[in-house]
Every structure is written in C-alpha cells, then in structure tokens.
Amino acid sequence: MIVSLFVNRVKSAAPIIAEQVCAILHKMNVQTVDFESYTDKVDFYCTIGGDGTILQLIHRAKYLDAPILGINLGGLGFLAEISLETLEKSLTAVLQGSYIVNRRIMLQAKGPDGQKFYAANDVVVHRGTNRHLIDIAVNVGGRYINTFAGDGLIIATPTGSTAYSLAAGGPILTPDMSAFALTPIAAHTISNRPIVLSSAEEITLEYLNNYEPLEVTFDGIETITLPPHELLTVNLAPSTFGLVSLENSDFFSTLRSKLGWTGTSRLHKEGC
C-alpha cells in the first residue's frame, strides 16, 4: 500500500505530525511518499492540516484517483476527520479496512473567456473593490429566477454548505445530496433568501452594473474577475472526489460537536 502525504507547512506543527504519521504507517508496512515529488498511482492521499489543506490538494492535483484521508490539526473542520488524539487508532482502523469512502460532488464554472474552473466548496461572486451594492441576475436552467442586490452570491456544494455559505445564513446540505445552495451575501432586500437548487440545472449569473469588475473565487484559492454585463455559468462538475470516513462517523454528530448544538433525544438515549 502507498500513501501520498500532503502537508500544510504553514502550520508549525504539521511537519512534526507528518513524521508521526510516517512512523505509524511504516510500522504497518505502508510506504509513504511526498505528494509533490511522487506521480505514480497511490492508495490514499493523506492531508495534514485541516479542511483548507484538503481544498489545496484538490486544486493542486486537479484530478484525484484515490480517496483523501484528512488529519485535522485544529479549528472548525468538517472534512479532515482524524484528530490528533485518535491518530494511531484511526490510522490503524483505516488500514485494516474499517472505513467508507464518501464521493463528493464538485462545481464547474465557466467565465466569459470560456476558461473552466472547479470548486469542491463554493464559487463566490463578490463586489470586490466596488463601494456600491451590485446587482446579479440569476437564471437556472434557462429560467429567470431573480436579481439579487447586495455584496454578492455564493453557490455552494453540500461540502461547502458548512463553510462560507453557512456563515452568510445559507442552509446546511447533507453530504449525500446532489444539490447546490445559492446564498446571497448581505442582501439589500430581506426577501432575498437562500435557495436550494438541483445539481442537474445550469446556473447563469449576469453582472448587471457598469461598475468595476467583480471578484470570483473558487474555494478561496483561485480568482478571476467578471466584467460588467458578462456571464458566469456554473454547473455540476464531471468529476468528484473521495473522502475517507471512519465507519462510526456520523454527519449529524459532527454538526452537533462543531456547531455546539445542545439538547437531548429520547430516541438517541435509547440507541434507536
């Protein structure tokens, strides 16, 4: 078995944790390689950092033929599932086959020049350097929906629904859904609310104002500009990425833990 390591070296603890991971894997006769220098087929990609590190890997690799195993070095992480406290136990469980791979959908966007970009979390259209509110007309599947006035719009995958979209008041989508969340950023009109859209539909955004170009970001990693009266089309990407989860992992338990939800359930107490 071969595991490719992708380490976020901006985090001071990451290289030390990487050495620990290598020691655990080598003890189980697993070969570890550096993502930056190894180009052959691997069994797993192992990221050491957090959710942002997983996104960096996806954008760096463009296409991943093996699932991603994320080790979280702290912070509000929904993708990097393995904590430092359970590092050896979790790695051992994965290597013994006690895991599942969740396939996650992605976004594909096409700018005015026809260039394509991809996002695992979200495509964000923001007013950028404009001091004014901006107007963005939204068409879905060729049907006009609304013109949103505000600071911009977020189109999020289920994976990205717990990121910027959630902070902007968007809905949480379960990871297995084939849908996108369209969330206004600081909407000027209170009636402009988030919408959940089928991933089968193409979303077209038109920048209506004569102001400075808008800023369009893909997972906060890649950026382009959208000039006035130009179009940005967003739809389901042809590729997905695989995320490793432990067999006892539960999305709603993760939500309760990460978001600080409280309360009890008779059914949950009784193990139903």
- Confidence at residue 268, expressed as pLDDT on a 0 to 100 scale: 67
Summarised one tens digit per residue, pLDDT across range 71-127 is 999 777 789 989 999 999 999 999 999 999 999 999 999 999 999 999 999 999 999
Task: Assess whether 245 and 227 both reside in one domain.
Answer: no
For the CA atoms of 59, 198, 112, 117, the dihedral, rounded to the nearest 10 degrees, stands at 10
Task: Assess whether 158 and 228 both reside in one domain.
Answer: yes
Task: Assess whether 9 and 120 both reside in one domain.
Answer: no
Task: Assess whether 93 and 125 both reside in one domain.
Answer: no
220 in the Ramachandran plot: left (φ > 0), alpha (ψ -120 to 50) or beta? left
Per-residue pLDDT averaged across 52-74, rounded? 93
What CATH number is given to the structural domain containing 143?
A: 2.60.200.30
Task: Assess whether 115 and 101 both reside in one domain.
Answer: no
Task: Assess whether 174 and 210 both reside in one domain.
Answer: yes
Question: Domains in the chain: how many in total?
Answer: 2
What CATH number is given to the structural domain containing 51?
A: 3.40.50.10330
Provide the annotated active-site residues.
Answer: 51
Q: How many CA atoms lie within 13 A of 17 on its CB side?
A: 28
Host domain of residue 33 = 2-105+240-269
Is the CB of residue 5 less than 8 Å from the CB of residue 34? yes
Structure tokens at 192: 């402009």
Task: Assess whether 132 and 220 both reside in one domain.
Answer: yes
- Confidence at residue 269, expressed as pLDDT on a 0 to 100 scale: 61
Task: Assess whether 229 and 250 both reside in one domain.
Answer: no
Is the CB of residue 75 less than 8 Å from the CB of residue 49? no
Task: Assess whether 260 and 194 both reside in one domain.
Answer: no
Residue type, 214: L
Task: Assess whether 59 and 163 both reside in one domain.
Answer: no
Summarised one tens digit per residue, pLDDT across range 162-201 is 999 999 999 999 999 999 999 999 999 989 999 999 999 9
Task: Assess whether 174 and 219 both reside in one domain.
Answer: yes
